Amino acid sequence: MVDRVLVTLDGAVQDPDAPLLYADDIGALRGDGIFETALVRDGKACALELHLARLRRSAEALDLPEPDTGQWRSAVETAVKEWGAEREGMLRLILTRGRDGHAAVRAGGGELSGPASDVTGYVLVMPVAERVARARAEGVSVITLTRGISVDLAQSAPWLLLGAKTLSYATNMAALRFAARMNADDVIFTSTEHRVLEGPRSSVVVQRDRQLITPPARNGVLPGITQRALFAEAEKAGWDCRYESLFTADLITADSVWLVSSVTLAARVASLDGLRMSAPDCAPEIVELVDRGIARAWSLGDW
Task: List residues near ligand PLP by CB under 6 A.
Answer: 37, 198, 200-203, 222, 224-227, 260-262
Residues 272-285 as b or e (16 or more Cβ within 10 Å = b)? beeeebeebebbee
Beta bridge partners of 38: 91
Distance CA 35, CA 167 (A): 6
| Residue among 120 and 214 whose Cβ is closer to ligand PLP | 214
Minimum separation from the CB atom of position 214 to ligand PLP (A) = 10
| Residue among 38 and 105 whose Cβ is closer to ligand PLP | 38
Per DSSP, the three-state class of 298 is helix
| Residue among 186 and 198 whose Cβ is closer to ligand PLP | 198
Sign of the dihedral through C-alpha 152, 155, 157, 159? positive
| Residue among 80 and 187 whose Cβ is closer to ligand PLP | 187
Cβ–Cβ under 8 Å, residues 203 and 225: no
| Residue among 256 and 262 whose Cβ is closer to ligand PLP | 262
Minimum separation from the CB atom of position 109 to ligand PLP (A) = 24
Minimum separation from the CB atom of position 275 to ligand PLP (A) = 23
Minimum separation from the CB atom of position 260 to ligand PLP (A) = 6
Q: Is 121 left (phi over 0), alpha (psi -120 to 50) or beta?
A: beta
**Which is nearest to 202 in space by CA: 214, 211, 194?**
214
| Residue among 141 and 203 whose Cβ is closer to ligand PLP | 203
Cβ–Cβ under 8 Å, residues 131 and 259: no
Distance CA 101, CA 59 (A): 19
Cβ–Cβ under 8 Å, residues 259 and 204: yes
Minimum separation from the CB atom of position 145 to ligand PLP (A) = 13
Minimum separation from the CB atom of position 13 to ligand PLP (A) = 25
Minimum separation from the CB atom of position 184 to ligand PLP (A) = 17
**Which is nearest to 210 in space by CA: 296, 292, 289, 144?**
289
